[in-house]
Structure 1
Amino acid sequence: MTEAFSVIQLSTVISQVTAPAFLLSAVASTVSVLITRLNRVADRYHSISGSPENNSGATNLNIELPDLTLRAHFMYRAIFWAVGSGICTCMLVIIMFTSALLKFQHEIGAAVLFIIAMGLFTTALIYLAREVRLSHKGSFSHRLIGDGFAHRPYLPLKKKTSP
C-alpha cells in the first residue's frame, strides 16, 4: 500500500455502512419475531396433537392441524430468507471495509449485495405476511365463529350524556 489507511477513509466507509447496519438490525429483530411465532405455532400443534380429545377420533381440533403445519412451513421459509439477508448484509459490510482497506472500487459490488439483501428480506416479509394472513383467516376460531364475526367493525364507544 502506498499510503496508510486514513481516518477520513475510515469515516467514509463507516458512513457508507450505516444503511446496511440498520438493515442488519431490522433482520435480527425480524428473526426474533419469526422464531417467537414459530414457537407459538409449534406449541399449539403439540398441544392439539397430544390432547386426549384429539385421540378419541375426528374432532374439530383436527381441522386446525393442517393450518398449523402450513403456518410452520411459512415461518421456516421466512426465517430461511431473513437469515440469508443477514448473511448477505454481513458480507456487504465485510467487503466494504476490506475493499476500502485495499483501495478497491466497491460501489457496484456493494450496491448489488445491498439489493440482494433487501430482496431476501422482502421475501422473508412476504412469508411472514402469508403466515399472518393464514393465522387470521384460516384460524380454528374463525371457522367456528364464522366470517361475519371476524370482520365486524369495532363498535363505537357510547358517549356519556350530561345530567
Structure 2
Amino acid sequence: MVYSDVIEQSVAPAFLLGAVASFLSVLNLRYNRIIDQRNLISASEPDQVLQMKRKILTRRARFLNRATILALISAALAATLIVASFCYALLEITEQRGLPALFTISLVFLGVAFIDFSREVVASRSEFKD
C-alpha cells in the first residue's frame, strides 16, 4: 500500500478525532458550569430545595463524566486506527481486517457518549418544568 493511500484512508478517522475534540470541549464547559453551580449551593445554608438541586447537579455531572470517558476512548481508538494504518503500510501488511472494526468500535463509543450527553441535557431541562 502506498502512503498516499493511507493518508486518504485516514481522513475519516482524522475528522472523527476533530469531532470528538469539539465534543469534549462542550462536555468540559458544561461540567465546569455544573461544578460552579454545585459549589454555590454547597456554600449556601442547608435547605431541602437546595439539597435537591445539589442532587440533580451531581446526577448531571455523572452523565457528563461518563460521556467524557466514552468520548476519550473513542478518540483513542481513532488515533490507534490512524497509527495502525501507517504501521501496516510501513510493514507492507495487506491484511487489514482490524481497521474497520476499530473505526466501528470508535463510533459506537462516541454514539454512547452522545446518549449520555443527551441524558444530561434532558436532566438540565427538567429543572425548568413548571
TM-score, structure 1 normalization: 0.76
Counterpart of 2:53 in structure 1 is 64
Do the aligned partners of 1:74 and 1:130 also contact (CA within 8 Å) in 2?
A: yes
- Unaligned runs of at least 5 residues, structure 1: 1-7, 147-163
CA distance in 2, matches of 1:99, 1:66: 49
Which amino acid is 1:29 matched to?
Answer: S
For residues 1-163 of structure 1, the aligned pairs below 5 Å read 9-51=2-44, 54-55=45-46, 58-137=47-126, 139=127, 142-143=128-129, 146=130
Aligned Cα root-mean-square deviation (Å): 1.3
Task: Answer with 1 or 2: which has the greater Rg.
Answer: 1
The structural deviation recorded for 1:106 is: 4.7
- Judged with a 3 Å threshold, the aligned counterparts in structure 2 of structure 1 residues 106 and 97 are, in CA distance, closer, same or farther, namely farther
CA distance in 1, matches of 2:39, 2:75: 30
CA distance in 2, matches of 1:110, 1:84: 16
Q: How many residues align?
A: 130
- Judged with a 3 Å threshold, the aligned counterparts in structure 2 of structure 1 residues 42 and 108 are, in CA distance, closer, same or farther, namely same
- Judged with a 3 Å threshold, the aligned counterparts in structure 2 of structure 1 residues 129 and 106 are, in CA distance, closer, same or farther, namely farther
The structural deviation recorded for 1:59 is: 4.1
Q: Percent identity?
A: 38
The one-character-per-residue Cα deviations of 1:42-98 (angstroms, maximum 9, x if unpaired) are 1000001112xx33xx24222211110000000100000000000001100000000
Counterpart of 1:152 in structure 2 is none
The one-character-per-residue Cα deviations of 1:82-139 (angstroms, maximum 9, x if unpaired) are 00000001100000000011111253211000001001111111110000000001x1
Q: Which has the higher contact order (CA 8 A, sep 6+)?
A: 2
CA distance in 2, matches of 1:106, 1:123: 29
- Unaligned runs of at least 5 residues, structure 2: none
